[in-house]
Amino acid sequence: MNLAQRLRLRAQTLGAIRAFFAARDVVEVQTPVLGPATVTDPDIESIAVPGYGFLQTSPEYQMKRLLSAGAPSIYQLGPVFRHEERGRLHNPEFTMLEWYRLGFDDQQLMQEVAELVAVVLGPGNVQTVTYQQLVGDLSDRGNVQRSELDLRFAEACESLQPGRFFVVDYPADQAALARLRPDNPSVAARFELVIDGVEIANGYWELLDPTEHERRFAADRVRRKTLGRMDVEPDQPFLAALRSGLPNCAGVALGIDRLLMLAQNADRLDEVLQRPEI
């Protein structure tokens, strides 16, 4: 596929995604890509811009501030940035699709994610597997380092091919910003979509409690220190928005470049990024 064909396919795909959300009355927004604060997530390192703050790793905090201020269901399609992420499936700048659905839980959002993927890749069955089925017995968690679990999980995800799979029932300590399941607080209402061994999307039934957010942010900072990463102060405007009241919702972030890679049967992200061939 030459450059002109790749550009046309990308434009057609983005147009189809926008039409998908327009039909569901989900409103497109555009939040800042440069902000004074960033995420505490220990597995993500942000790109600092001296004198200005950080290039955003996701529009999550900004979009949740909009929801707390009264926005309807919303989506954003645009660039995000992560430090030192480069490889077959990684690039420091990439395109993310993130959306939030008011009144949805994780199960409803998983269905919508499957429907969106079908628009881009064509129809296909999506199977569901649990985190424990991928990494093995979790009864000895106290004797297993988090880094080992992460490696097990990454290797297991690569083995999920061919096909489309939702990974569910993450352990509570890997909830990120998902709430815990009301009927089983040992697992989080979090899911990941893996297609042909490639991690594509990560979604939550969103945590609403600002106090629990602060507790998790504090735990993030401890783990960041253990990993030798820079300390990150929690985003205070985001916490203030949570205190004002984030409505019940579910949200998901999806890597557009990886989805396009699969759509084009490409092997590397470089093959679908919009770089002039000079």
pLDDT score of 275: 65
pLDDT score of 73: 98
Annotation: CATH topology of 3-271: BirA Bifunctional Protein; domain 2 (3.30.930)
pLDDT score of 135: 86
Strands of the chain, DSSP E: 27-28, 34-35, 47-49, 53-55, 74-81, 93-102, 126-130, 164-171, 180-181, 184-195, 198-205, 249-255
pTM, to two decimals: 0.94
pLDDT score of 212: 97
Output b/e per residue, 42-58; b: 16+ Cβ within 10 A: bebbbbeeeeeebbbbb
Up-side HSE of residue 66: CA atoms within 13 Å toward CB?
A: 20
pLDDT score of 141: 59
Residues for the chain: how many in total? 278
Positive or negative torsion for Cα 221, 225, 226, 228: positive
* Long-range contacts (CB closer than 8 Å, 24 or more residues apart) made by 65-71: 65/237, 65/238, 65/241, 66/29, 66/31, 67/100, 67/102, 67/246, 67/247, 67/249, 68/241, 68/242, 68/244, 68/245, 68/246, 68/247, 69/241, 69/244, 71/27, 71/29
Residue 72: is the preceding peptide bond cis (ω within 30°)? no
Q: What is the dihedral of CA 65, 27, 30, 262, to 10 degrees?
A: 110
pLDDT score of 147: 73
Q: Which residues of the chain have pLDDT under 70?
A: 138-144, 275-278
pLDDT digits (tens, 9 = 90+) for 11-61: 999 999 999 999 999 999 999 999 999 999 999 999 999 999 999 999 999
pLDDT score of 278: 45
pLDDT score of 13: 95
pLDDT score of 144: 63
Residues 237/37, Cβ–Cβ less than 8 Å: yes
